[in-house]
Amino acid sequence: MVLAEFGAYEYGGIGNRSNLGLMRSLFLIFVSLFLAVAHPVAADDHRPVVVELYTSQGCSSCPPADALLTKLSGRDDVIALALHVDYWDYLGWEDAFASADYSARQRAYAKAAHKRTVYTPQVIVQGVGHAVGNRVDDVEHLIAYHKNRAKAVDIELERSGSKLFITATAEGGSVGRAVIQIVRYVPEKTVSIEAGENAGRKIVYTNIVTEWRPLTQWNGRGTITANTVVTGAEPIVVLVQSLGLGPIIAAEVLR
């Protein structure tokens, strides 16, 4: 589904779509293979890749993307997060997981990438890689590309009761100004949808984001320590993201 919020939606470009799709896939495969050979990641260089899925229970093309996120959530090298947007609620089914904050985050990504539209399902990998959420090959290639980039920040997390302690260290110099963010999510819920475009379907949703908030800014040099109060048993993700909704530099999850 496409929402033309910033103007006409342009998709596919000029020429034969199949040929363009094949060329894109071949290029991404080449890039992934080159990076794997030229810049191998050491076994102890753990760098999970953040995959944000913008989805909605009222979007008929979203269930395959939701299923893909469920698959990705089982991988140690991926932090898979589902952000449910609210702009399809008017179609007859209100998404109970949706938040205007997540719609705003998606629009901010669009603005940062000079895009005129937002849509579902959309995947954003490591804050910079954009793909249609149900295009498995494109999503996998983006994950492979970012997984093979050198780790720039090491994050250590420790929880003691209701306190979360965070230590982030820049490896090899400054990574630039960044924001440390806290994300909480519900691992899984099944929803029976009674109206709208997915009426009559029972869908399993995974890693449903319930909270996404900035904790503190960082100049990106040396080591920063921070702490915050956390409650409940939901997993905790800590992200270091460049200012202005730029690349996600590092992320860790505490389950």
In this prediction, residue 149 carries a pLDDT of: 87
User: For 64-120, how does the pLDDT look when each residue is reduced to its tens digit (9 = 90+)?
Assistant: 999 999 999 999 999 999 999 999 999 999 999 999 999 999 999 999 999 999 999
Mean pLDDT of 240-248: 96
236-242 and 248-254 beta bridge pairing = antiparallel
In this prediction, residue 41 carries a pLDDT of: 39
Q: Are 48 and 253 in contact (CB under 8 A)?
A: yes
Mean pLDDT of 119-142: 98
Mean pLDDT of 168-185: 96
Q: Are 19 and 27 in contact (CB under 8 A)?
A: no
Triad 212, 239, 115: Cα angle to 5°: 70
Mean pLDDT of 179-198: 98
In this prediction, residue 4 carries a pLDDT of: 36
Cβ neighbours around 44 below 10 Å, total: 6
What mean pLDDT is reported for the chain? 87
